Structures are given as structure tokens and as C-alpha cells.
Amino acid sequence: MKLVIVESPAKAKTIEKYLGRDYIVDASGGHVRDLPEKAIGIDVKNNFKPEYVIYPKKQDVVRRLAGLSKKAEKVYLATDPDREGEAISWHLMNALGLDDNYSRIMFNEISKRAVNEAIEKPGKINMDLVNAQQARRILDRLVGYELSPVLCKKIQGKLSAGRVQSAALKLIVDRDREIKSFVKEEYWSVTAFLKKLTGSDIVFKAVLESKCGKKIKLENKEKTDAVLKELEGKDYTVESVKKSVTYGNPPPPFTTSTLQQESSTKLGMASNVTMQIAQQLYEGLDLTGLGHIALVTYIRTDSTRVSAEATAKARETLAEKYGEKYVPQKPNIYKSRKNSQDAHEAIRPINLELTPESLKDKLQRNQYRLYKLIYERFLASQAAKAVYDSVNVTIKNGDYAFKSTGKTMTFDGYTRIYAAAPKEEAGEDNEKIPPLADGEKLELSKLSPEQKFTKPPAKYTEASLIKLLEDKGIGRPSTFATILSTLYKREYIKKDGKSLEPTELGELVTVYLEKYFNDIVDAKFTARMEEGLDKIEEEGADWHKILNDFYPPFREKIKEALSGAKMDVADEPSDVKCEKCGAMMVFKRGPYGKYLSCPECKTNKSLKSRGEEKVSDVRCEKCGAMMVEKSGKYGKYLACPNYPSCKNIKSVQEVVAVCPKCGGDVVKRFSKTGRIFYGCAKYPECDFVSWDVPAPIKCEKCGGAMVIKEGKTKTVYKCMDKNCGFTADAEKK
């Protein structure tokens, strides 16, 4: 008998079907041992020697696997092919007492071919990967175990800090500070609506860009009016028409980071949900008529590399399904990011013959949606470029120059398979421009000045934060979902729609860490630590060095912080009256968080909400108390203050528009994945629903409902009827 040990039962079930009766495949359920839960477990004075213990809940698992390994002719450790997987194998080797009587096997996909190839080419545990994981684990334990009690003592109880989570939190806090301190500036634009004198009725737009060859800046109405006066009565003449063919490049196949970003943007899935579902697709699922099979390759990768075999199959599929013109002359090859670990392929389907449509009735809804995203992205990555005819027109009026640009798709290429996430449906690049010639005079239909204001930087979404974390080298892509989950769990951040905001507690913790532990929240310092861990893994660097370099100065900062004053948190006024004396209560902070306190009679009242509470004017229909506003993962809601005796809650519905179907209120809602949509408040009597805010006008072409589409440069109203497709400029008020 031969024993194969993997992490999960699902993975074991998938692998078992590819091996013969001589094999038993069993699962460890992840790590079987770690640093102790209730002690630091690190002998700092003995070169940071870790003390590993078997999890109490894994004692039976270890006994079972040890018994099987003693009977086995061979033991194969088949954990995931990365840092964490290597560490799990190493811990299993030690916990089971295997010594050198084992084989380490790895595969990038769970398929018959890949599993059998791995069995035929076994290896040994890579101690460089293990040491990199040990160094990371010890660093995280030192920071968490020694810094978290400082926060509890100096701010309030039940707080935590982490080597990576604190740096990520500071990014969100810093962006919030930027937004709050932003001072908007006025500026104006001037748009000319022009058409040919003869031969075409097409009216197109040209934007004022320069005067005497220098970019023009209009800061106020006075300057704008002066320019308009100079433009009056003068001819608009085409100075130059530049035509070109431009190309849209297909996107690379997914890495862990880009999968999380795109899933958030296109599917509205939280990063942790994306990773959970992706793990299911990788480990294998029971599919009717197909048995237990895996659908995608390993999901923790920052490489865009694809095997020659998979590339050839993608090109073959493209030719069969879409035709030869969709297959480029040479396979598309993508460069991986700097510092990426190229050990694994990009995330892709294992079998392109298993199309998303063929599995739609066999998969759960979100499994299907994510598989479809991965499948189409991979296929598109090997497709031909999209082709556009682009035109750039310069139009002169005296010393002033106007610009108009247009782009028409002549070949859809990869976009037929995989459309980019909606960004600029209302963008200026799609301006329809009639044929024009140099020197041709044009007729002015309208000259439109518009007042605008500069906008603050956008709040981070999960997608944009993940991209920033990767760009700055904070953490590894496989940890991004965990980082966000921890920040939510600690109530350091909250969601407003898709936007991420720091809570008051998150801001407080960041201010304290900036004062005493600036390295911990410094993005560059955190990135250098990640580079140090990579050097251990890739170059075999001494893993003790990174610990010796980090710990002594960190320990000094702990001592300094403990000797410093407690964080002074001022009381905040509330809208809650004391039930005993009628005085207005204030918010205070204690060892277990925020609570209400009466400054007169000293009555205290606990808060079990997320974020700040405010008494609403809505009365609880169950017990009669005035409900309070609370903030949860998906925004604000109303809750009865008498919880847990009364558990009544209500959603806070933000009215955004008039229902185009029944005339009622359209309110903002959240889907199960947290994505914002808009629906009629009279549901189910009225079933109007849209991903976009309804426009205040009807379609001029078909009389149907329109929605508001916002691009980077302008906003339009678009007909909801896809067969109509009519768009109109939104009115600026």
C-alpha cells in the first residue's frame, strides 16, 4: 500500500480517482502543528528557536496518519506547491516521524496526467521554502504577541496589530485623510458642437485645448467669458486630420491578485469569497455525470506563464469556436511582474472542453460565475488584438485650437470573448466624426462652457486596494483576502457600497502606531521585509538574519510605548438621553470598546454595534423603543437598542430616483455579494431593478427607461433597452 497525504478531503477525493487500488489518499486538514496558542512559543535568546505543538484538535488526525504511514510501502506528501504547502509537508514529516522515508510530490493542476507525472518524479522537501515560511510565521507572532497587548493597554481591550494588516490599514486611513483635506478648485471647459457645411448632418464635439500652442487653463467664469468673446464671429477651420490604426491588447491570464480584483469589479464578490470559491474549483467538486473533478489550476500564483500544451489547446479552441482570424500568428506571451515567483502557471481552466455553459446546471451560481470569468479570461489571453480606426482632428479658431478624437472598432478580436470591466461607456473616444479634410471650414451649432471642480482621490475599493498592495509589495497575493477579512473582523474598516473607509477605531490605532511603531505601518519597510522572505525562499538566505535585524529595535519600541502615556481619547457627545436622569449621554472608550456614559449620574450603557450609533426617528414596531443607526459590512441599518430581548432590524433605504415603471421611490440595495443595485421600494408590487441609477428622462427614441452612466470625462443617459441603445448627454445642474 502507498499513502498520499494532502490538505483537504476534497483534494483527496479528486486525486484518489486518478490512482490505482494500491494507493490510499488521506487529508491532514491543513496544518497539524504550529506555535502554541497561549504562549509566544519562540525562544528569542536561543536564535529564535520555535516551539511547535500539535493542535489539540489534530491529535486524532496525526495518530491516524502515523498508523497508515507505518503500514505504507511509500509515503507521498502532496500538499500545495508553495511556501505554506511546503511547511505543512515539513510539519507532517516531523509529526509522523517519517525521517527521510517519504517523497514530496507537487502538481500545478489536479488532473490524471499531472498527478501521475508527479508520482513518477518525486523529490524532497525544499527547506528554503520551509525556512521562509518559518521566518514569516515567527515575525508575525512576535509582532502580534508583543504589540497587541500594548494597544489593549494604551487604547482599549481586544485590539490587535499585525505586520501586514497595520500597513494596509494605514493606506486606507491615509486616503481618507487626503479626501478630508482636499480643497476643490474651480475650472471651466469649452466645447464646440460642429458640423460640416455640406454633405453630412453629423454634429460632433471638439474641446478647447490651447491658445497659441500653449495649453489653456480657465480658472473662473471671467476668463471663460473673455475667451468666448474672442471666439465669437470667427471661422472654425480644420487644421489637421490624423488617422491611424490602433490596437487593443488582450489581457493576460489571471494571477491571484488580478483574479481578486476582477472578481470584485465584475462580479461584486468580496476577495475572501473569491478565494473560497476558487479553492473549490481547484480542489475538485462532485459534478453530475462527471464525478469528482477539479476545474482550474493552482490558484495561488503571481505568474502569467502558461504551459505550451495549454497555449496550443487555447489556440485550437479559438480557431474552432471563432475562426482562424481570432488566432494571432504567434502565441501571446506575457511578462510577469517584478519579484513574481514564477514556479506556477497562471490560473486557467484544466480542460477547455468543459465550457462554462456545459457546467452551468452542475455548478452553484457563484462557482459558475467565477469559472466563467477564469475560462473566458484565459481564452481571451491567447486571442488576437482588437483593431480600431482612430482619428484625431485639430480645429482652429484664430489663436485657439480645439481637439476632437474618435475611435471605431473594425475588428473585435479578444473583446468578443472577454469584455473589459465597464469603465468608460460614456467616453469621448467613441465620438462619431464625419469625413473631414485639412482646411475645411465648419459650421458652429453651439458653443458650450461648463463649470467644473477638481475631485478628491477616490476611496479605495477592495479591487483597487489589492492592486495597491501588490504594487507596493505589501504581503503576498495569497494573503490579501485574509488581510481584508482581518481588518473587517477587527472593525478597523467598513464598507460604504464598494468603497472602503476606516472606522474611528481604525484611525485611532493608526495614529498610535504612527507615533510609536512607524516601521510597522510603513509600506516601504513592510515591502523590504517581504523581499527578505523572498530571498530566503529563492536564494537560501539565512532566515535568522531577518529576525535578528528586526527584533531588537522592535523590542525597544515596545518598551518605549509601555512607558508612554495612555492614548487620550476625548469623550464624544451623543444623541442618547440617559434613561435615569434625562441628561445627554456621551461616548466613552473602555477595555472592551465604546460605550455610553451619563456625565451626571454615571449610568453606563453598553454598545454592541459596529461603528458609531445614532438614535433614529424610527420607532421599533415590536417593542416601541427608538431604533438606532448601525454600520455593518454592507452599509447602514436600523437596530432595536433592546437587543438581545428584541432583535428587530431594518435596512436604511436611500432613495436615489423616481421609479420609471410605477413612479414610486427607487432605493439603493445590496446583493448577496455586496454589489450595489437599485430597485423599486414597492417591490414585489413593482419589479423594477437596475445595476445603474435610473435617469430622470424617458428615451427619446423608444420611450423606455434610461439609466445614468458615468465615464471619466462625462455622464450620459443610456436607454435600458439593448435593442435601442440610444444615449443622450446628461444635463449639468
Give the residue numbers annotated as catalytic, written as ranges. Answer: 298
Q: Map 546-611 to HEC letters.
A: HHHHHHHHHHHHHHHHHHCCCCCCCCEEEEEECCCCCCEEEEEEECCEEEEECCCCCCEEECCCCC
Assign 273 to helix, strand or coil: helix
Cell numbers for 607: 454598545
Asked whether the beta carbons of 248 and 267 are under 8 A apart, the reply is no
How far does CA 663 lie from the centroid of its chain?
36
Q: Give 511: exposed, middle or buried? Use CB within 10 Å, 0-12, 13-18, 19+.
A: middle
Strands (E), 61-155: 74-77, 103-104
Asked whether the beta carbons of 327 and 312 are under 8 A apart, the reply is no
Asked whether the beta carbons of 395 and 192 are under 8 A apart, the reply is yes
Q: In sequence order, which ranges of 190-284 are alpha helices (DSSP H)?
A: 221-231, 256-262, 271-283
Assign 193 to helix, strand or coil: strand
Going by C-alpha positions, the residue among 300, 387, 257 that lies closest to residue 7 is 300
Alpha-carbon span 189 to 452, nearest angstrom = 7
Residues 6 or more apart from 169 whose CB is under 8 A from it? 487, 492, 493, 502, 506, 509, 510, 521
Q: Map 21-70 to HEC letters.
A: CCEEEEECCCCCEECCCCCCCEEHHHCCEECCEECHHHHHHHHHHHHHHH
Going by C-alpha positions, the residue among 88, 63, 71 that lies closest to residue 2 is 71
Alpha-carbon span 349 to 377, nearest angstrom = 10
- Burial track 156-180 (b if 16+ CB lie within 10 A, e otherwise): beebbbbbbbbbbbbbbbebbeeee
- Crossing angle (nearest 10°) for helices 504-516 and 127-154: 110
How far does CA 457 lie from the centroid of its chain?
17
Going by C-alpha positions, the residue among 561, 547, 527 that lies closest to residue 171 is 527
Element at 466 (helix H, strand E): helix 462-472
Bond preceding residue 684 cis, omega within 30 of 0: yes
Which residues are paired to 579 by β-bridges?
none
Q: In terms of DSSP bridges, do strands 74-77 and 103-104 run parallel, antiparallel, or are they unpaired?
A: parallel
